Amino acid sequence: MKDYRILIILALTAVCIVFLIPTVTGFEAKWYPAQPINLGLDLQGGMHVVLHVDVEKAISDEYGHLAQSNIPEVFKDKNLAFEKAVVSSDGKKLTIQFAGENDRASAQQFLTAEWTRFKVTTEEAEGKPALALTLSDDEVKYLRDNALKQARETINNRVDEFNVREPEIYTQGKDQIVVRLPGVVDPGRAKKLIGRTAALEFKLVTGEATFAPTKEALLAKFNGKIPDGYDIYPNKDSRTGQDAFYVMRKTPDLSGAYLTDARVGYDQYQNPAVDFTFNEEGAAKFAAITGANIDKQLAILLDGVVYSAPVIRSRISNRGQITGEFSREDALDLAIVLRAGALPVPVRIDEERTVGATLGTDSIHKGVISFIVGGIAVILFMAVYYRKIGFSADLALILNVLMILAGLSMFGATLTMPGIAGIILTIGMAVDANVIIDERVREELRNGKTPTAAVRTGYDRALWTILDSNITTLVAAVVLYQFGTGPIKGFAVTLTIGLISSVFTSIVVTRVIAERLAKTSKDYLSI
């Protein structure tokens, strides 16, 4: 059994060395089983951004979709007549206006029976019968939560494309997303990448009255009021630099939801552009739209801005191109956000912090100094106060640190300043376990037992005390990891790995050494 324990200790030590070679030497290779320990934002620098997600926009968008698509289609299918459907200015109610009372009564009966996620009430609008539709509280909560979840997933996809190592992206509260990007050297580009809505839309431009060089000129064509269901969209002509404005339907003829790929390409003038590809369903819709509207303009909009409005010359199916005043980096970032998908609702930056690489290096330096000073103090105390047995505890302590660092590398965990604090705390707990064992052994020696018997009895009696204290702390670490975020999770990970390794080194490693010392000292054990 003892020989097996020695083999296990040697094997674990060898594994630890293998996993720490990349961290110590900087060696990296795909075939090698380990990678360097990932450093957190506070140790290597980077950016920390808190995004506010406009979850209320998801509710107003739901009402808008109902007014422009669902209600016209469903009412036509059910032979229900109505005049218009309008979303309130605050985006929290939909009003359906009818020509007469009979039309309203028929619609109310249908909506109350079938559209159960809405509260349907009667009211008057512009002196005519109307119905007001408001979403139920459960539906509102679902839309808000889903918008936050989708926004987090989209940002996560974009960051994955940006090749940031070990990013942290998590929700905070009811309408915030925290993004932590270690090692980012261009915060401006990263902010643009994660915060851009990237809503790609295709809209037909119908008639000359829908275009003008100024907003005022465009409004004059409509006597100062844009028709219901339409809006004004700006356009920047990349060739002349002149601003222009279009009036188009709010509802797109086709959206970017059908994209399967987006890559950097070049336009006819060899300027960077973005080539995109539709899936089968999107290609069929695109072909139908372009085939039915030859010699008409089709505007390509991104986040509500017209990038180009080319004239359709022939039927197009599954491919297209977005042109504009792009640098190659701009085109690359646009392709990334289009591949990752549009954010379901707009976001804005509530908080932003950038940690410089120098500050991160300084944090590492201070953490290492505190670790070395604390470690040397503990090693000297154990060696002086407990002599040979204390020296065995020191060896186990060094192995404990190696196991923690190797564990971080093995599991791909991220080391942060709180994580370093967790390692130091673990060292203290490991020493505490050795103090309990050594005092037990001393007590047995005072009672007249031989060194071998004293070591065996001391370890047996200290076992459950050590397990009890470490298991209790382990439960706390698991809770911290489960419910904590960011640096708190880093602390919990290092603490958990440290607790497991400290139990092993205290109970197994030091016992093997102590038993061998006891055998060589039949009558006297230095402790």
**11: buried, middle or exposed (CB in 10 Å: 19+, 13-18, 0-12)?**
exposed
Torsions phi, psi for 144 (to 5 deg):
-65, -50
Indicate if 55-137 has the same CATH topology as 3-44+358-519: no
Q: Check residue 240 and give its pLDDT.
A: 42
Handedness of CA 466, 471, 472, 477 (dihedral sign): positive
Q: Which class is domain 196-353?
A: alpha beta
CATH number for the domain whose boundaries are 55-137: 3.30.1360
* Strand, helix or coil for residue 497: helix
- For residue 237, the SS3 value is coil
Helices 2-25 + 510-520 axis angle, to 10: 130
pLDDT of residue 441: 86
Q: Give CA separation, 100 vs 114, 115, 131, in Å.
A: 22, 22, 12
So where are the chain's domains? 3-44+358-519, 55-137, 196-353
Strands of the 118-125 sheet, one edge to the other: 84-87, 94-97, 128-135, 118-125
Residue count (the chain) = 527
Say which CATH superfamily domain 3-44+358-519 falls into: Multidrug efflux transporter AcrB transmembrane domain (1.20.1640.10)
CB 54 within 8 A of CB 441: no
What pLDDT is attached to residue 52? 92
pLDDT at 225: 82
Task: In whole angstroms, give the CA distance from residue 181 to residue 166.
Answer: 8
Amino acid at 139: E
What gap in Å lies between CA 259 and CA 279, rounded to an integer?
Answer: 6
pLDDT by position in tens, the chain (length 527) = 456 888 888 999 999 999 888 888 877 777 787 788 877 777 777 888 999 999 998 888 888 888 877 888 888 888 888 888 888 888 888 999 998 899 999 999 999 988 888 899 999 888 899 999 999 999 999 999 999 998 898 888 888 877 777 788 889 889 999 998 887 777 788 888 888 777 788 888 876 667 778 888 888 888 888 877 788 888 865 444 456 888 888 878 888 878 888 888 887 777 888 888 888 888 888 898 888 888 888 888 888 888 878 888 888 888 888 777 778 887 888 788 778 777 888 888 888 888 765 556 776 777 778 778 878 888 888 888 888 788 888 888 889 989 999 988 888 777 888 888 888 888 888 888 888 888 888 888 888 888 888 888 989 988 888 998 889 999 999 998 888 776 788 788 889 999 999 999 988 999 988 888 888 776 556 66
The three state secondary structure string of 126-137 is CCEEEEEEEECH
Q: What is the pLDDT of residue 209?
A: 60
CA 303 remoteness from chain centre: 22
Q: What is the pLDDT of residue 239?
A: 45
* 255, 200 contact by CB (below 8 A): yes
DSSP-assigned beta bridge partners for residue 135 = 118
Check residue 371 and give its pLDDT. Answer: 76
The predicted pLDDT at position 360 comes to: 60
DSSP codes of every residue in 149-169: HHHHHHHHHHHHHTT-SS-EE
